[in-house]
Amino acid sequence: MEIRLMNLRRNYGSLHAVDDVSLVIPSNTVYGIIGRSGAGKSTLVRLISMLEKPDSGEVYYNEKRVDNLSKEGLIEERRRIGMIFQTFNLFSSRNAEENIAYPMEICHMDKAYIHKRTEELLELVGLEGRGKAPISTLSGGQKQRVAIARALATKPSILFCDEATSALDPQTTRSILALIKEIQKKMNLTVVMITHQMEVVRDACDRVAVLDSGHIVEEGLVSDIFSSPKSDVTKEFLSSLTNVQESIVRWSKEGGHYTLRFRGNSTDEPIISSVSFSTGAVFNIRAAGVQVVNGEEMGVMMADIGPDEETARKAAAMLREKGVLVEEEKKEAR
Ligand SMILES: Nc1ncnc2c1ncn2[C@@H]1O[C@H](COP(=O)(O)OP(=O)(O)O)[C@@H](O)[C@H]1O
Ligand SMILES: [Mg+2]
């Protein structure tokens, strides 16, 4: 299902939590919304999922307007939505399968069907045989798997994930993201992935919108945004990512003032040599490696550029012209 947002606004007193947001979230995709804490992500999700009404603006599911529905209409449309959260929000008094059965019970579905569907869902999320497990005995990753199964019980068209992996370690995060991607394809879902972690966008999302102070500051294909980010907020998110990149080999602890990123399609050209030749710049490479951004390979290189600042600036400008993303480390961070 395609989701379309038109000029959404939501104020809390004088605070513009969501400030004129217009977006198209295509069907059958994993769509990321990234922003710092307080950027307005959760508020935006509450508006898109009809938990809260906007002060102005419109929300469409396919061609149907859903922000102004009556109570009955709202209940009907909300069946098309599943949600998962950072805190899992499971019932601790119910075991795994009773949690998964819950949304089907409140729709008064047939007992035999509920049983069959619960077994199916346990298998889908990799928890076959664990239905009777009390929630307290499950790991964080397993709890999120139960929450995913419960969210999908009534076969929704949209899955909202609000910081769904923020409480999990990196390895568990990767396994949950892989599961969400797999389920998205299997069920042709529209997944809206809310996060403050660029790793989540890199590993799971097809497109991303960057939210800052209630505004969308940048939107596009994840591979485009990683290779040529425009806003400072996006660049900041990206720089936090390079610091934790495990696939980058650093052979010198010192330096690496410039970070260069090369997209797959430009990596065959002798870019460094030709820039060096035309500008006289010398490159001292301190670290390099390959990042995989949603399936697309991107070369990353950290280097110092000399012999002087002016030549370095010329070289950086020429690299940018050739489609390389060049970031200069801030002086105060050194
Ligand atoms: N119900 C509310 N009442 C008043 N202020 C709110 C409410 N919900 C959120 N806010 C404020 O709106 C801003 C955006 O919050 P939120 O959407 O939760 O951001 P995020 O999820 O990106 O961290 C914050 O400044 C927050 O304090
Ligand atoms: Mg939030």
Pairing label, strands 81-85, 325-328:
unpaired
Average confidence (pLDDT) over 38-64: 96
18 CA distance to ligand 2 middle (Å): 12
Cα separation, 205 vs 219, in Å, equals 12
- Hey, which bits of 213-295 come out as E strands? 215-221, 248-250, 258-263, 282-293
Query: Does 331 score more than 60 pLDDT?
Result: no
163 CA distance to ligand 2 middle (Å): 7
Residues 56-94: tens digit of each pLDDT: 999 999 999 999 999 899 988 998 999 999 999 999 999
162 CA distance to ligand 2 middle (Å): 7
Q: Considering only CA atoms, which of 193, 136, 138 is closest in space to residue 165?
A: 193
pLDDT at 294: 60
Residues 120-148: tens digit of each pLDDT: 999 999 999 999 999 999 999 999 999 99
pLDDT at 333: 38
Cα separation, 304 vs 219, in Å, equals 31
Cα separation, 309 vs 331, in Å, equals 13
17 lines ligand 1 (CB under 6 A): yes
| Closest residue CA from atom 24 of ligand 1 | 38
Full set of structural domains in the chain with CATH: 3-227 (3.40.50.300), 245-333 (3.30.70.260)
286 lines ligand 1 (CB under 6 A): no
176 CA distance to ligand 2 middle (Å): 19
What average pLDDT does the chain have? Answer: 90
Q: Own/partner pairs for 167-173, CB < 8 Å, 24+ apart? A: 167/86, 167/87, 167/140, 168/140, 168/141, 168/144, 169/140, 170/199, 172/139, 172/140, 172/141, 173/199, 173/200
Residue 298: what are its φ and ψ, rounded to 5°?
A: -140, 125
Q: Is 27 exposed, middle or buried (0-12, 13-18, 19+ CB in 10 A)?
A: middle
15 lines ligand 1 (CB under 6 A): yes
Indicate the DSSP class of residue 79.
T
